[in-house]
């Protein structure tokens, strides 16, 4: 067992050696610094993306199932789904009656049209036909004005509720309530403005703030209802009940579709967790690639440190001889050099972490919200020490095995 | 008995050829002896010194240090023996250049795991014995050759070793400084230490009370020289 004073001595020697070769140490750690900046930035960016993603899909709700013709996530198996029947409003009504546990069943459909207010035009805006149940199944609520109500749907009113960004871009400072705007060729009266929901459609998903909601009945009147495909948004009693609820939903849908027990489902149930899983797959690959690149740069950095440690051992061969002659054991010499390489790498790691704060601030102010978390810092520093041990072990081992007689004779 | 060497052989392998360095050396040294080992280069005196200093082990034969057979020990066990029982003084001083005097002297105590307060006390005592208390914070390169050798002696002394092993301790010093250093060894001997001098200079060897001469890996002569110039002076004192 190595004594405590021995270890302290090893650490002191290591610090002394590094202090004596500052420029060399700095150049050596450059690889480590770059590697650590890469590690921290990759992990911080991944965290930031995940947060934005979660924020953007949280609108979907974790206690909500989507019945659609095709799954959200599929890998090029289009031919399997292309002959499926569209979901119809009739089916939605049947589902509403049969699935008693459902808190709400809300049919949805979407199209893209240009919108216009006075001389201002925005092209290709998502127009969503929905019902008054929309605010039950999703988390968005009107900021001011009101949402669509039962009568709007029943009597096919040409009214709309607009997303916060639509308001900002189309109406600027004008109060849009009760103003007429054009959706496609039709006039719609604005009755409400949704509060901002964020998410900015970063992942190709919908940007909820750029949507316009109109009654589903008015939608069909204006944009046609034949051959239109709907999504049913079905709210479960609770998140916990979701798996059982999904089972019942599938059962009812099969009844409505009159499927035989041997038939496959000709519809798909989607939910937020499907997206999360798909996202995790993609991010997993991205992070893997990031870490691979990082790994390579750390490896190269480590080789640099190893190289310097060999130089350091050779330079101090005589000193090693002296220390061995007066009683240093192999392990003492080993720790001395391991400490040296670890401290070099740890200092590099610290510098890397400090630089990463700068890089992250830059990302934060330009690309997306991102912040370095304490666990990331700890992981980064642990990695740098690990690289230090890895790159110091062979030179240190060689030093520890030096024959004291030959080492003392070394000029 | 400080140590006993019994029929030691040491053979080196050099490019497949066996080169004998020691060919059956035996030696008994009592406590508080003051011995000089002499011999021309190639006589095997360096090899013998390395074995006595536990830096190397013999190919065959036994080496008993204070009754313990140390001729078959492993690297780390030898390191412990060197640390506790051997004090080295080298021709080239061999101090750690980046460390100050105090730290150089303290180093063997660190390796033997003593607590800091005890180390401080022992190191300061050893430095005082060689008269360098006022230079305790200096680095080796701020000292003269003679002063450096004194530091080395203090380092050799600090663990209170069984043997002080000095390899040409005056080889890098002018003769006046050399005499000064030898004076310190004389003092140490008088204080009860066992001293082995390895040298090829006769006037250095004359400080010893016994001279062992090696030739071609064998002991050529082993004489008591109690009537040496300095020995006489010491006896009078």
Q: How much is the pLDDT for A198?
A: 64
* Cα separation, B91 vs B100, whole angstroms: 20
- DSSP conformational letter for B135: G
Q: List the single residue in A with minimal CA-CA distance to B94.
A: A322
How does B149-184 read in b/e, with b if 16+ C-beta sit within 10 Å?
bbbbbbbbbbbebbbbbbbbbbbbbeeebbbbbbeb
- Long-range CB pairs of A173-178 (<8 Å, 24+ gap) are A176/A117, A177/A144, A177/A145
| Nearest by CB: B82 against A20, A327, A332 | A327
pLDDT band at A116 (very low <50, low <70, confident <90, very high): very high
| Nearest by CB: B94 against A3, A322, A405 | A322
Residue B178 lies in a domain: yes
For residue B53, the distance in angstroms to the closest alpha carbon of chain A comes to: 9
CATH number assigned to the domain comprising residue B94: 3.40.50.300
Give the helix ranges, DSSP H, for A213-271: 216-223, 242-257
**Predicted complex: ipTM over 0.95:** no
Residue B22 lies in a domain: no
Say yes or no: B75 contacts chain A, CB-CB below 8 A. yes
Same domain, A295 and A373: yes
Cβ-defined contact of B80 to A329 (cutoff 8 Å)? yes
Same domain, A225 and A162: yes
Interface contacts (A, B; CB < 8 Å): 69
Cβ-defined contact of B108 to A326 (cutoff 8 Å)? yes
Phi, psi of A110 (to 5 degrees): -140, 150
Residue A260 lies in a domain: no
Residue B16 lies in a domain: no
Cβ-defined contact of B111 to A328 (cutoff 8 Å)? yes
Over 50: is that where the pLDDT of A69 sits?
A: yes
Cβ-defined contact of B55 to A20 (cutoff 8 Å)? no
Over 90: is that where the pLDDT of A287 sits?
A: no
Interface mutation vs chain A, best among B51, B55, B109, B155, most A CBs within 10 Å: B55
E-strand stretches of B66-133: 68-69, 86-89
Q: What angle do CA A348, A349, A351 make, to 5 degrees?
A: 65
Q: How far is CA A381 from CA A342, A344, A391, B26, in A?
A: 10, 12, 15, 58
Q: How much is the pLDDT for A1?
A: 46
Contacts of B110 in chain A (CB under 8 A): 5-6, 9
* Cα separation, B86 vs B105, whole angstroms: 14
Strand A180-183 and strand B194-198: the pairing is: unpaired
Structural domain containing residue B152: 33-57+78-236
Contact residues of A toward B, CB < 8 A: 3-6, 9, 16-17, 20, 318-319, 321-332, 404-405, 408
Same domain, A114 and A42: no
Cβ-defined contact of B113 to A331 (cutoff 8 Å)? no
Q: How far is CA A330 from CA A1, A282, B80, in A?
A: 12, 49, 11
Summarize pLDDT for A373-385 with one digit per residue, the tens.
888 899 999 999 9
Cβ-defined contact of B95 to A16 (cutoff 8 Å)? no
Residue B72 lies in a domain: no
How does A125-151 read in b/e, with b if 16+ C-beta sit within 10 Å?
bbbbbbbbbbbbbbebebeebebbeee
Residue A17 lies in a domain: yes
Of B174, B178, B165, which Cα lies nearest the Cα of B36? B165
Of B180, B177, B181, which Cα lies nearest the Cα of B166? B181
Over 60: is that where the pLDDT of B64 sits?
A: yes
For residue B210, the distance in angstroms to the closest alpha carbon of chain A comes to: 26
Max mean pLDDT range (A57-61, A200-204, A225-229): A225-229
Same domain, A126 and A47: no
Last residue of a domain, one of A232, A251, A286: A232
Chain-wide mean pLDDT for chain B? 89
Cβ-defined contact of B79 to A328 (cutoff 8 Å)? yes
Cβ-defined contact of B76 to A329 (cutoff 8 Å)? yes
- DSSP conformational letter for B8: E
Say yes or no: B94 contacts chain A, CB-CB below 8 A. yes
Token digits of residue A21:
């070769």
Q: How much is the pLDDT for B229?
A: 52
Residue A197 lies in a domain: yes
Which of A76-85, A123-132, B61-70 is predicted with the least confidence, judged by mean pLDDT?
A76-85
What is the average per-residue pLDDT within B200-228? 86
Q: What angle do CA A386, A389, A390 make, to 5 degrees?
A: 85
Contacts of A329 in chain B (CB under 8 A): 75-76, 79-80, 111
| Nearest by CB: A322 against B56, B96, B159 | B96
Interface mutation vs chain B, best among A315, A322, A403, most B CBs within 10 Å: A322
Chain-wide mean pLDDT for chain A? 87
Say yes or no: B120 contacts chain A, CB-CB below 8 A. no
* Cα separation, A319 vs A338, whole angstroms: 16
| Nearest by CB: B113 against A3, A318, A330 | A3
Interface mutation vs chain B, best among A326, A334, A336, A407, most B CBs within 10 Å: A326
Summarize pLDDT for A36-48 with one digit per residue, the tens.
998 888 888 888 8
Considering its fold, how many domains does chain B have in total?
A: 1
Cβ-defined contact of A325 to B113 (cutoff 8 Å)? no
For residue A329, the distance in angstroms to the closest alpha carbon of chain B comes to: 5
Residue recorded with tokens 């709210």: A235
Burial class (CB in 10 A: 0-12, 13-18, 19+), A77: exposed
Last residue of a domain, one of A232, A260, A295: A232
Summarize pLDDT for B184-208 with one digit per residue, the tens.
999 999 989 999 999 888 888 888 9
Contacts of A20 in chain B (CB under 8 A): 98
Say yes or no: B140 contacts chain A, CB-CB below 8 A. no
Interface mutation vs chain B, best among A15, A17, A317, A327, most B CBs within 10 Å: A327
Over 60: is that where the pLDDT of B231 sits?
A: no
Helices A330-366 + A374-400 axis angle, to 10: 150
Q: How much is the pLDDT for A39?
A: 86
Residue A74 lies in a domain: no
Residue A240 lies in a domain: no
Strand B3-14 and strand B60-65: the pairing is: antiparallel
Residue B89 lies in a domain: yes
Last residue of a domain, one of A232, A262, A285: A232
* Cα separation, A308 vs A26, whole angstroms: 11
DSSP one-letter string for A88-150: -HHHHHHHHHH-TT-SEEEEEEEEEEEEEETTEEEEEEEEEEE-TTHHHHSS--EEEE----H
Token digits of residue B218:
């064998």
Name beta bridge partners: A194.
A142
Residue A248 lies in a domain: no
Residue B222 lies in a domain: yes
What is the average per-residue pLDDT within A273-287? 82
Residue B73 lies in a domain: no
What is the average per-residue pLDDT within B158-187? 91
Residue B63 lies in a domain: no
pLDDT band at A354 (very low <50, low <70, confident <90, very high): very high
Structural domain containing residue A144: 103-232
* Cα separation, A184 vs A78, whole angstroms: 30
- A112 C-beta neighbours (distance < 10 Å), count: 10
Considering its fold, how many domains does chain A have in total?
A: 2
């Amino acid at each position: 067992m190595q004594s405590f004073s021995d270890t302290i001595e090893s650490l002191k020697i290591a610090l002394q050696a590094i202090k004596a070769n500052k420029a060399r140490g700095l150049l050596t750690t450059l690889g480590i610094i770059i590697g650590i900046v890469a590690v921290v930035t990759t992990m911080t960016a991944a965290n930031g993306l995940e947060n934005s993603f979660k924020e953007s899909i949280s609108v979907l709700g974790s206690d909500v199932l989507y019945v659609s013709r095709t799954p959200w996530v599929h890998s090029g198996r289009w031919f399997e789904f292309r002959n499926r029947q569209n979901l119809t409003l009739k089916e939605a009504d049947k589902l509403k009656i049969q699935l008693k546990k459902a808190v709400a069943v809300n049919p949805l459909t979407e199209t893209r049209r240009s919108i216009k207010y006075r001389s201002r035009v925005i092209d290709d805006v998502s127009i969503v036909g929905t019902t008054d149940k929309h605010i039950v199944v999703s988390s968005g609520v009107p900021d001011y004005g009101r949402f669509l109500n039962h009568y709007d749907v029943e009597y096919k009113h040409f009214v709309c509720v607009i997303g916060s960004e639509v308001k900002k871009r189309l109406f600027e400072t004008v109060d849009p309530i009760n103003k007429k705007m054009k959706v496609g060729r039709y006039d719609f009266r604005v009755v409400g403005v949704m509060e901002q929901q964020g998410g900015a459609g970063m992942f190709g998903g919908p940007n909820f703030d750029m949507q316009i909601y109109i009654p589903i009945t008015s939608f069909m009147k204006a944009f046609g209802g034949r051959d239109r495909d709907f999504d049913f948004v079905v709210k479960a009693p609770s998140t916990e009940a979701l798996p059982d609820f999904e089972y019942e939903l599938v059962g009812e849908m099969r009844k409505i579709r009159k499927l035989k027990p041997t038939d496959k489902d000709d519809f798909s149930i989607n939910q937020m967790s499907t997206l999360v899983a798909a996202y995790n797959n993609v991010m997993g690959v991205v992070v893997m690639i990031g870490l691979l690149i990082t790994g390579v740069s750390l490896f190269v950095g480590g080789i640099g440190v190893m190289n310097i440690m060999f130089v350091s051992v050779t330079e101090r061969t005589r000193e090693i001889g002296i220390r061995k002659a007066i009683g240093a054991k192999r392990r003492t010499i080993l720790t001395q050099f391991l400490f040296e390489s670890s401290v070099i790498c740890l200092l590099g790691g610290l510098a890397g972490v400090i630089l990463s704060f700068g890089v992250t601030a830059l990302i934060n102010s330009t690309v997306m919200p991102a912040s370095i978390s304490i666990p990331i810092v700890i992981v980064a520093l642990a990695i740098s020490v690990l690289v230090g041990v890895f790159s110091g072990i062979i030179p240190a081992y060689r030093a520890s095995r030096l024959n004291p007689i030959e080492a003392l004779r070394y000029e | 008995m400080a140590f006993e060497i019994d029929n030691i052989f040491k053979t080196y392998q050099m490019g497949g050829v066996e080169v004998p360095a020691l060919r059956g050396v035996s030696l008994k040294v009592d406590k508080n002896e003051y011995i000089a080992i002499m011999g021309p280069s190639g006589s095997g005196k360096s090899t013998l010194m390395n074995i006595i200093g536990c830096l190397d082990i013999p190919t065959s034969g036994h080496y008993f240090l204070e009754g313990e057979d140390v001729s078959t020990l492993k690297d780390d066990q030898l390191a412990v023996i060197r640390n506790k029982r051997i004090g080295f003084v080298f021709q080239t001083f061999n101090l750690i250049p980046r460390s100050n005097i105090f730290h150089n002297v303290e180093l063997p105590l660190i390796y033997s795991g003593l607590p800091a307060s005890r180390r401080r006390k022992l190191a300061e005592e050893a430095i005082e014995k060689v008269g360098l208390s006022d230079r305790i914070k200096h680095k080796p390169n701020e000292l003269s050759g003679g002063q450096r050798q004194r530091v080395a002696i203090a380092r050799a002394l600090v663990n209170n070793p069984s043997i002080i092993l000095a390899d040409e301790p005056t080889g890098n010093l002018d003769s006046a400084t050399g005499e000064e250093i030898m004076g310190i060894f004389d003092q140490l001997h008088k204080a009860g230490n066992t001293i082995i001098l390895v040298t090829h200079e006769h006037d250095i060897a004359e400080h010893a009370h016994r001279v062992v001469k090696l030739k071609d890996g064998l002991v050529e002569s082993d004489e008591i020289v109690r009537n040496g110039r300095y020995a006489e002076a010491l006896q009078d004192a």
